[in-house]
């Protein structure tokens, strides 16, 4: 029985399996297709490979694609005066002011036609001043003397008291606790954010899968991301230097680079997003319709209940990166 590892010279040139332009496969996949090996290791199932070779039951979860961003930064802006209310609330307040002005205009017109006593000095400028000064918690320069308008004024004062108290209480919170930027937490948020994106291309399976996807999020990511070949420290360093930059890569590679190359201060700046994609589950590769697939799969299925994967992780999960 021959086993291909992708690093055995003539029996493994091409790594885990690459399809060149003329359609020929090299590496582990090519060895299995051409019959030069019975089993292949250190290779994973991809949308292209599964049409030419088979895989046993997965026995080891290598990792998944994740991305890191810089830590949230404090935001200081004059716009903080508007943050206590959202846009819908501000529009509602302006709508109430407009409706109140229309009501006052019509009420005064009707009362003038009925020849009720109205102060001529309570004109439109006095009405606008009354509405806005009460919202700003200032004393109104002039109050109406009509009983009907006084009823309206009392209702408006109640409305102004509720709005100003709610605004002031939330404003104190914003002043006491600074607002931080919100880095993307999912690949969808990342794709449609203003972040620049880097991608650590370790092999071709992850990139080719994203590039071949019809999902709008993945297509947008592939179109915008900058490619960093291999386990590239520069991608992670760029996250540390720039606030609006995200680096996509295998979670174990990102962790490895952080723990091996970054200082404590730099490590604290990195934030792993909770979202992941493209989970890699390792199984042995076999020839198509090989008799070894089912039998080896039965034996390898015991690795998970016996927690052998955790033991292998302790021995050296990153050995193939060296």
Distance CA 232, CA 236 (A): 8
Asked whether 71 and 180 are in contact (CB, 8 A), the reply is: no
Is 55 in the same domain as 69?
Answer: no
Asked whether 129 and 159 are in contact (CB, 8 A), the reply is: no
Is 160 in the same domain as 225?
Answer: no
pLDDT of residue 118: 53
pLDDT of residue 90: 93
Distance CA 66, CA 251 (A): 5
Distant-in-sequence, close-in-space partners of 132: CB < 8 Å, separation ≥ 6: 97
CATH no. for residue 39? 3.40.190.10
Is 197 in the same domain as 239?
Answer: yes
Distant-in-sequence, close-in-space partners of 223: CB < 8 Å, separation ≥ 6: none
Helix segments in 7-146, DSSP class H: 27-33, 87-113, 124-135
pLDDT of residue 166: 92
pLDDT of residue 39: 83
- Out of 130, 151, 176, pick the residue that ends a domain: 176
Asked whether 96 and 159 are in contact (CB, 8 A), the reply is: yes
Which residues span the domain enclosing 31?
A: 1-59+283-322
Is 94 in the same domain as 214?
Answer: no
Asked whether 219 and 213 are in contact (CB, 8 A), the reply is: yes
Is 102 in the same domain as 167?
Answer: yes
pLDDT of residue 96: 92
pLDDT of residue 185: 92
Q: In Å, how far from its chain's centre is CA 225?
A: 15
Tokens of 44: 């994973």
The pLDDT tens digits of the residues spanning 212-262 come to 888 999 999 999 999 998 888 999 999 999 989 999 999 989 998 998 898
Which residue in the block uniquely carries the two structure tokens 């002031």? 168
H or E, element range at 227: strand 226-229
Is 129 in the same domain as 251?
Answer: no
Q: End-to-end CA distance of the chain: give it in Å, rounded.
A: 27
Distance CA 238, CA 219 (A): 23
Asked whether 250 and 200 are in contact (CB, 8 A), the reply is: yes
pLDDT of residue 65: 92
Residues of the chain whose pLDDT is less than 50? 8-12, 317, 320-322
Is 38 in the same domain as 105?
Answer: no
253 three-class SS: helix
- In sequence order, the β-bridge partners of residue 74 are 180
Is 267 in the same domain as 302?
Answer: no
- Out of 154, 176, 198, pick the residue that ends a domain: 176
Question: Structure pTM?
Answer: 0.62
H or E, element range at 25: strand 25-26
Asked whether 50 and 277 are in contact (CB, 8 A), the reply is: no
Instruction: Indicate the number of domains in the chain.
Output: 3
pLDDT of residue 1: 57
pLDDT of residue 315: 62
Asked whether 172 and 197 are in contact (CB, 8 A), the reply is: no
Is 48 in the same domain as 110?
Answer: no
Distance CA 242, CA 316 (A): 32
pLDDT of residue 9: 44
Phi-psi region of 41 (alpha: psi -120 to 50; beta: other; left: phi over 0): beta
Q: Long-range contacts of range 116-119, CB-CB < 8 Å, 24 or more positions apart?
A: 116/146, 117/145, 117/146, 118/144, 118/145, 118/146, 118/149, 119/144, 119/145, 119/146
């Amino acid at each position: 029985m021959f086993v291909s590892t992708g690093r055995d010279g003539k029996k493994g040139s091409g790594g885990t399996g690459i399809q060149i332009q003329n359609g020929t496969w090299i590496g582990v996949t090519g060895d299995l297709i051409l019959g030069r090996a019975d089993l292949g290791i250190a290779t994973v199932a991809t949308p292209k490979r599964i049409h030419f070779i088979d895989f046993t039951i997965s026995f080891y979860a290598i990792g998944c694609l994740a991305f890191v961003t810089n830590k949230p930064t404090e935001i200081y802006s004059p716009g903080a005066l508007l943050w206590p209310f959202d846009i819908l609330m501000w529009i509602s307040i302006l709508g109430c002011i407009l409706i109140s002005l229309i009501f006052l205009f019509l009420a005064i017109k009707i009362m003038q036609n009925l020849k009720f006593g109205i102060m001529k000095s309570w004109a439109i400028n006095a009405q606008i001043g009354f509405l806005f000064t009460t919202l700003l918690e200032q004393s109104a320069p002039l109050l109406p003397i009509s009983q009907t308008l006084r009823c309206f004024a009392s209702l408006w004062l109640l409305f102004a008291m509720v709005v100003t108290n709610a605004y002031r209480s939330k404003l104190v919170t914003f002043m006491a606790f600074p607002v931080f930027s919100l880095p993307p937490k999912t690949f969808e948020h990342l794709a449609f954010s203003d972040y620049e994106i880097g991608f650590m291309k370790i092999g071709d399976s992850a990139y080719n899968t994203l590039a071949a996807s019809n999902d709008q999020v993945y297509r947008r990511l592939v179109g915008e991301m900058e490619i960093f070949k291999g386990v590239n420290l520069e991608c992670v360093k760029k996250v540390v230097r720039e606030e609006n930059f995200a680096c996509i890569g295998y979670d174990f590679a990102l962790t490895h680079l952080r723990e091996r190359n970054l200082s404590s201060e730099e490590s604290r700046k990195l934030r792993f997003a909770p979202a992941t994609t493209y989970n890699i589950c390792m199984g042995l590769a076999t020839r198509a319709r090989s008799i070894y697939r089912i039998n080896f799969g039965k034996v390898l299925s015991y690795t998970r209940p016996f927690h052998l994967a955790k033991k292998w992780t302790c021995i050296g999960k990153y050995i193939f990166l060296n």
